[in-house]
Amino acid sequence: MAISRRTESKKIFICLFGFVLGSLFTLKLLTERCLARNNACSSTPPADSQQQAVFENSYQFEHEDIRYINRTPGFRYYDDFLISPQNNIYLAEYKLHYCKIDKNMGSTMQAFLCYIDAPQKHSNYFFNGSWNAGLAGSACSTSTLSGELRKRFMTGAQNVDFFSEKSGIYHLAIVRDPISRFVSAFVDVCIINTFEKEYPEKFKTLCFSCRSNMTCFLLQLHDYLYRISEHLPKERWFRDWHFYPQTWYCDFDRHITRYHLIHYKRNDEFYKELLEFLRNIRVKSNLVDDIETKLRKKTAAHATHSKSAIYEKELLESPFLLEYVYKIYYLDFVWFDYRL
């Protein structure tokens, strides 16, 4: 009888042990899948950190129904249909990988890096071109979109060690104050837009057809980006990527610690940091000198800084709109240490 009971207890123990072991394995598998998919498991801050971030910005927001967008959708460098393939450039000679974030001096950096990579090929465009959005129509645009520079990056990024420290690769990205970046994108895409004649069908849904109405646009943008972050169905619209949070770019959710981040501003401090970075990775001094001259004199054809003041004022004077911007770009504020 005692032996029977001991046998039965042993069977129960084995079953329980197997159940616990199986549960742990399942949990591990689910966690790995989640991390592999988009790392969103770790990108959702706990409630107390949200409150702390709001407190540090001296704002107590009133609308609990406006949700924080605190997950990344897990875009990867090969997701061309989600973020432009022009967003990564790799200069093998200098072991430099640059990740372009739209509205963060991206076209200017494209022109700089094409010139560094092949001065003779790109010198005429570097010195005389208009540097329009994406450098459209130029040899540099073709190279970064589908040509030599694009292929070079794709080959390099497929190496398992591309983002590892032992690779010796420098990873560079320029980040920007989320409010300044949003206003720049809003003015460029929704106000100035130059695409009505070229893409009449796409123009109809541009900026949710809100045109210059920032309130109309922000409310719909919040819902739209929230749905993307949660992998929910949505209908894409032309140039929407200009409004993606910066934390959705560059595989930041997996490799942010590998990046050298330069905070964009139109001042000498920013210029000095960028030029110093290029010198430190041993870009030829005459090329850096040419870039310094252009930094201080050249303006991209689609630059918006001279037209943004009125819309930035509208945003900053509205706590309601600021709440939307803060909750849309919450991870940008937190990861890149910006404050309202």
What pLDDT is recorded for position 303? 56
Same structural domain, 27 and 56: no
Same structural domain, 17 and 128: no
What pLDDT is recorded for position 131? 81
Query: What tokens appear for 279 in the block?
Result: 């010198």
Instruction: Mark the ranges of the chain whose per-residue pLDDT is less than 70.
Output: 1-59, 194-203, 298-306
What pLDDT is recorded for position 326? 97
Are 149 and 117 within 8 A, CB to CB?
Answer: yes
What pLDDT is recorded for position 30? 34
Same structural domain, 65 and 187: yes
What pLDDT is recorded for position 157? 92
| pLDDT tens, residue by residue, 87-132 | 999 999 999 999 999 999 998 999 999 999 999 999 999 998 878 7
Same structural domain, 132 and 242: yes
User: Distance between CA 203 and CA 217 in Å, rounded?
Assistant: 15
Same structural domain, 23 and 118: no
Same structural domain, 12 and 104: no
Can you list the pairs that 44-48 forms with residues at least 24 positions away whose Cβ atoms lie under 8 Å?
A: 44/70, 44/71, 45/70, 45/334
| CA 168 to mean position of chain CA atoms | 23
User: Distance between CA 33 and CA 297 in Å, rounded?
Assistant: 49
Same structural domain, 17 and 91: no
What pLDDT is recorded for position 198? 63
Same structural domain, 10 and 114: no
What pLDDT is recorded for position 21? 41
Q: Order of strands, edge to edge, in the sheet holding 170-175?
A: 88-91, 96-99, 170-175, 259-263
Same structural domain, 23 and 73: no
Cα distance between the two ends of the chain: 74
Residue 42 lies in a domain: no
Which residue do the tokens 């084995």 mark? 14
Query: What tokens appear for 36 in the block?
Result: 């592999």
Same structural domain, 28 and 51: no
Tally of structural domains, the chain:
2
At residue 277's C-alpha, the angle toward residues 165 and 172, to 5°, is 50
What pLDDT is recorded for position 32? 38
What pLDDT is recorded for position 23? 41
Residue 340 lies in a domain: no
What pLDDT is recorded for position 80? 78
What pLDDT is recorded for position 247? 97
3-state secondary structure the chain: CHHHHHHHHHHHHHHHHHHHHHHHHHHHHHHHHHHHHCCHHHCCCCHHHHHHHHHHCCCCCCCCCCCCCCCCCCCCCCCCCCCCHHHEEEEHHHCEEEECCCCCCHHHHHHHHHHHHCHHHHHHHHHHCCCCHHHCCCHHHHHHHCCHHHHHHHHHHCCCCCCCHHHCCEEEEEECCHHHHHHHHHHHHHHHCCCCCCCHHHHHCHHHHCCCCHHHHHHHHHHHHHHHHCCCCCCCCCCHHHHCCHHHCCCHHHHHHHEEEEECCCCHHHHHHHHHHHHHCCCCHHHHHHHHHHHHHCCCCCCCCCCCHHHHHHHHCCHHHHHHHHHHCHHHHHHCCCCC
Q: Which residues contact 249 (CB under 8 A, 6 or more apart)?
A: 75, 83, 87, 99, 101, 173
Phi-psi region of 38 (alpha: psi -120 to 50; beta: other; left: phi over 0): alpha
Same structural domain, 143 and 16: no
User: Distance between CA 189 and CA 72 in Å, rounded?
Assistant: 23
CA distances for 332 relative to 69, 191, 233, 328, angstroms: 10, 24, 24, 9
What pLDDT is recorded for position 14? 45
User: Distance between CA 177 and CA 332 in Å, rounded?
Assistant: 8
Same structural domain, 29 and 173: no
Phi-psi region of 117 (alpha: psi -120 to 50; beta: other; left: phi over 0): alpha
Domain encompassing residue 230: 47-335
